[in-house]
Structure 1
Amino acid sequence: MSFPNIWHHRRVADTSAKPCDVCYKPSSSVLLNPHNKDFFYICPIHLKDGSFCTPIVDTEKEAAKEREEAIAREIEKVKNEYEEKQRKKEKEQNNKQKDKENSQTKKGEEKDQDQGGPEEKKDDPEPTNNDQKEKNDTVKSAVSEPKADDSPRIFALHKTFYQMRIDRSRNIEIARRNRERLKNSAAFPSVPTGDL
């Protein structure tokens, strides 16, 4: 009973951790063969060992992932440029408003001096660029998602470990057949019925 040497790496809950097949330390990582439904627990450090297994890289997925990352970088760059332009525009508008207010207050002061006493100025707090930056940072941090695990997900076992899995699968199949034979009473010889 042979099956392909393709193993998918999966994670289980930490409460379901079982001993690693190599070093017997508790592990929540599992290598699963989808064709045979064979699986075994393995430490993640063993997956990086070249003498145990080698990753199978899907070139199409890697290329698609690189394209997505490039698009994300480009979008981020365009957003930053747009925000810079908006900040510059706001600064220019604020400067123009301040100039207008200053010129109006000077005219108002001159009129007040002509008419009598100066009037009190009302100061409106203007939003600063720092406040806007803090708001943008909080929005970005809320939107940003945690990065997924970039380690390979599909592996091919080294030939000796792969042979061990095949032998184990065969032994399990043989033991199952033997149990079925023992349960079947037709497999045993019958008791002699003739008189002696």
Structure 2
Amino acid sequence: MSLTNVYHLRRVADTSAKACLICYKPSTSVMITPDNKDFFYVCPAHLQDRHFCSPIIDAESEAARLKEQEMAEEIEKVKKEYEEKQKRKKERAKQSDKDEKDKDKGKKNDKDDSKDKESTDSKTNDEKERDEKGNETKPENGPRIFALHKTFYQMRIDRLRGIEMARRNQERMKNPSLFPSVPTKDL
């Protein structure tokens, strides 16, 4: 039986959590081979352990991920600059409107308008922050493909061999020709 030493990290729902291979605590992280022959649950903390497994880093995907991060940062920077420019335009427009108003009426109304403006600005900022936090998805920072170290890999191979041997023994036990026949001659 050939088993490649390449395991992909997958996540399962919290309700499907099972015991970790190492510490037996409930875990939602699953290590699985690409051909789905072997899988086991493991805690994310054990993936950081250099004596358990080591990440297999694909240079192309890593470069693509870095490029994507840079693009996202650049987009955020441009958005912020645009929002600041729009804010300045609004402030200039309001300043020109204030200058045009009568001084008598303007003094009382300006104070009320400024209070209203501050409250609406704070509400819109709060709403924007909530929307941004709600729409964010937690990006996967760590690697997703691992190679087990030799002792753990050998343990997985031994386990699969044991399962295969048990299956073969079960089939042999069902075969009646395996057992010796009853003697037919008298001695």
- Calculate the TM-score normalised by the size of structure 2: 0.81
Structure 2 unaligned segments of length 5 or more: list them: none
**CA apart distance, 1:23:** 2.6
Task: Report 1:43-54 matches (<5 A).
Answer: 43-54=43-54
What corresponds to 1:91 in structure 2?
91
**CA apart distance, 1:93:** 1.3
**SS of aligned partner of 2:147:** strand
Distance 1:61 1:180, change over 3 A: same
What corresponds to 1:110 in structure 2?
none
Question: Is 2:138 the counterpart of 1:151?
Answer: no
Q: Answer yes or no: is the 8 Å Cα contact 1:87–1:129 preserved in 2.
A: no
Single out whichever of 10-19 and 148-157 deviates more from structure 2. Answer: 10-19
What corresponds to 1:135 in structure 2?
124
**SS of aligned partner of 2:101:** helix
**How many pairs align?**
181
Match for 1:183 among 174, 179, 182?
A: 174
Question: Is 2:144 the counterpart of 1:168?
Answer: no
Distance 1:46 1:99, change over 3 A: same
Q: Equivalent pairs: percent with the same residue?
A: 57
- Tell me, in whole angstroms, the C-alpha distance in 2 between the residues paired with 1:131 and 1:123: 16
What corresponds to 1:11 in structure 2?
11
Bigger radius of gyration, 1 or 2?
Answer: 1
**CA apart distance, 1:188:** 2.5
Distance 1:99 1:55, change over 3 A: same
- Tell me, in whole angstroms, the C-alpha distance in 2 between the residues paired with 1:87 and 1:36: 55
Distance 1:130 1:16, change over 3 A: same
**CA apart distance, 1:83:** 1.4
1:62-106 CA distance string (max 9 Å, x none) = 222211221111111111111111122112211111112237x79
- Tell me, in whole angstroms, the C-alpha distance in 1 between the residues paired with 2:7 and 2:46: 14
- Tell me, in whole angstroms, the C-alpha distance in 2 between the residues paired with 1:36 and 1:182: 28
What corresponds to 2:22 in structure 1?
22
- Tell me, in whole angstroms, the C-alpha distance in 2 between the residues paired with 1:51 and 1:73: 35
1:152-186 CA distance string (max 9 Å, x none) = 22110001111111111111111110100101113
What corresponds to 2:61 in structure 1?
61
Q: Answer yes or no: is the 8 Å Cα contact 1:3–1:36 preserved in 2.
A: no
Structure 1 unaligned segments of length 5 or more: list them: 107-120
Distance 1:68 1:178, change over 3 A: same
Distance 1:13 1:92, change over 3 A: closer
- Tell me, in whole angstroms, the C-alpha distance in 1 between the residues paired with 2:14 and 2:85: 49
- Tell me, in whole angstroms, the C-alpha distance in 1 between the residues paired with 2:58 and 2:121: 43
Letter in 1 for 2:76: E
- Tell me, in whole angstroms, the C-alpha distance in 2 between the residues paired with 1:70 and 1:187: 67
What corresponds to 2:41 in structure 1?
41
